[in-house]
Amino acid sequence: MDTRTAPQVTATPTPRRTLIGMLGPAFVAAVAYVDPGNVAANITAGARYGYLLVWVLALANMMSVLIQYQSAKLGIVTGKSLPQLLGERMGDAGRFLFFAQAEVIAIATDLAELIGGAIALHLLFGLPLFIGGCIIGAVSTLLLRFQGGRTHRLFERIVIGLLLVITLGFMAGLLVDPPDPTAVAQGLLPRFTTTDSVLTATSMLGATVMPHAIYLHSTLVNDHYADGRIRPDTRTLLRGSKIDVLWALLLAGTVNLSLLVLAAHSLHGMAGTDSIEGAQQAITAALGPAVGMIFSIGLLASSLSSTSVGTYAGAEIMRGLLHLTPPMWACRIVTLVPGLAVLWFAPNPTQALVVGQVILSIGIPFAIIPLLRYTHDRTLMGEYADGPVKHAVFIAVTGLIIALNAALIFLTL
């Protein structure tokens, strides 16, 4: 009887297992696309103009797929985040000024997310907005304790779980009162009716393309392997990132489209839908208290996830530009305090969302133009630098986004 030991064979991960292991970063970044600011913009658009602006969301989602993939690609190829690359190429004064505008953007972003969460807690439990804001701040800070290192994958799973709650919360109304598919399809025809519809469309685009998501995605693709797991080769990572971005933003785009279609079908012409609280009350009146409660739960999940991810982005911006690594709770306080001040002093905090949207519009070029330059830089990207056709498409998308956000600022003022 042969007693020799059989040779040990090391199991090689299958392509499917490899792909699953690469998914996650884009879903975390996608949370920025379904934050309370998007909720307000999309419901207002549907309630005012019906299906007229469906095409705007479709266009915005296609542009966001390109932008988020470019950010992921930059991080994968260079091993550095966009803020890190900016910090390496700027002088001290430039780094500080760039950080200052990015931090203002982070505060404006967190303002919308904090207000949305405070409103959700008020709708669910009748809590005062300031108390609700404090609770959102405390819970989101607790979530951030799992970010980084060996618990980073757990942080990703928590955020993705909240993203699924958001999806259910914001799509439940369509299951109760399904829209007409033909009417939705007609909304894909690009057109405007009034100057105000142009303003609404640009605000939707401004709420969709988020500067902090652009900064953060280039970090997420590298932090995904912070727990010491084997990192696939660059080409494999880029292929996996394409799928990750497509799936994540398809989900986020579907949620945003669902909000607009829900408002167009069930809330069209109803008064008071230009605020988050008014929209929830209109949904409750039109579709019943159960749907209204599910919507509020989705809004709460949206706030918790997006405010955590926003703070994560702010910390990476500080690390990359100022070469500082403060504790995450300190970064959370920096963006939290201004929002709590608005909830305490402002008679109608939701009006601050308009100001926040204008600030976000100002910040978009600072994120997207460096990304455009770096992904075309062959000395930085090597063989993975964008070719002439892709670079031309990216230039067109960048120009369109900047022009629309400039129009938003002009029309708002």
Cβ atoms 373, 367 nearer than 8 A: no
**Token couple for 309:** 């991810």
Q: Where are the domains of the chain?
A: 27-412
Average pLDDT over residues 40-56: 91
pLDDT at 335: 86
Q: Tell me what percent of the residues of the chain surpass a pLDDT of 90.
A: 59
- How far, in Å, CA of 129 to CA of 127, rounded? 6
Query: In sequence order, what DSSP letters do the residues of 221-245 get, joined into one string?
Result: HHHTTTTSPPPPPHHHHHHHHHHHH
Give dist(CA 312, CA 74) in Å, integer: 18
Position 11 scores a pLDDT of 41
Convert the pLDDT of each residue in 60-83 to its tens digit: 899 999 999 999 999 999 999 999
What per-residue confidence (pLDDT) applies to 294? 95
Q: What is the pLDDT of residues 348-369, one digit of tens each?
A: 776 676 667 677 778 888 999 9
The answer to which of 96-100, 209-213, 291-295 has the lowest mean pLDDT is 209-213
Question: pLDDT (tens digit, 9 = 90+) per residue, 108-165?
Answer: 888 888 999 999 999 999 999 999 999 999 999 999 988 877 888 899 999 999 999 9
What pLDDT score does 363 carry?
85
Q: Is the pLDDT of residue 236 over 80?
A: yes
pLDDT at res. 82: 96
Q: Range with the lowest mean pLDDT among 13-22, 330-339, 380-389? A: 13-22
- Give just the sign of the alpha carbon dihedral 191, 197, 199, 202: negative
Region 383-412: mean pLDDT is: 87
Distance (Å, rounded) from C-alpha 185 to C-alpha 195?
23
How is residue 294 written in tokens? 């599910």
How far from each other are the two terminal CA atoms of the chain, in whole angstroms? 89
Structure tokens at 175: 């299951």
pLDDT band at 383 (very low <50, low <70, confident <90, very high): very high
Residue whose pair of structure tokens reads 């969301």 in the numeric block? 57
Strands (E), 280-384: none
* DSSP letter string, 142-202: HHHTTSSGGGHHHHHHHHHHHHHHHHHHHHHHHHHS---HHHHHHTTS----SHHHHHHHH
pLDDT over 80 (residue 208)? no
Q: Which of 385, 32, 58 is nearest to 238 (CA)?
A: 385
The lowest-confidence range among 19-33, 194-208, 272-286, 380-394 is 194-208
Give yes or no for a contact between 281 and 304, defined as CB atoms under 8 angstroms apart.
no
Residue 196: predicted pLDDT: 82
List the one residue out of 30, 71, 60 whose CA is nearest residue 238: 71
Integer Cα distance of 68 and 288 in angstroms: 37
Three-state DSSP class for residue 261? helix
Averaged pLDDT for residues 241-262: 95
> pTM to 2 decimals?
0.91
Structure tokens at 88: 């390496």
Domain spanning 27-412: CATH 1.20.1250.20: no
**Contact in structure between 291 and 172 (CB atoms under 8 Å):** yes
Q: What is the DSSP letter of 292?
A: H
Average pLDDT on 379-386 reads 96
Q: What is the mean pLDDT of the chain?
A: 88
For the ranges 1-15, 216-230, 249-263, 305-319, which has the lowest average pLDDT? 1-15
Residue 265 CA to residue 271 CA, distance in Å, equals 14
pLDDT greater at residue 178 or residue 1: 178
| CA pair distance 242, 261, nearest whole angstrom | 28
Cα separation of 183 and 223, whole Å? 43
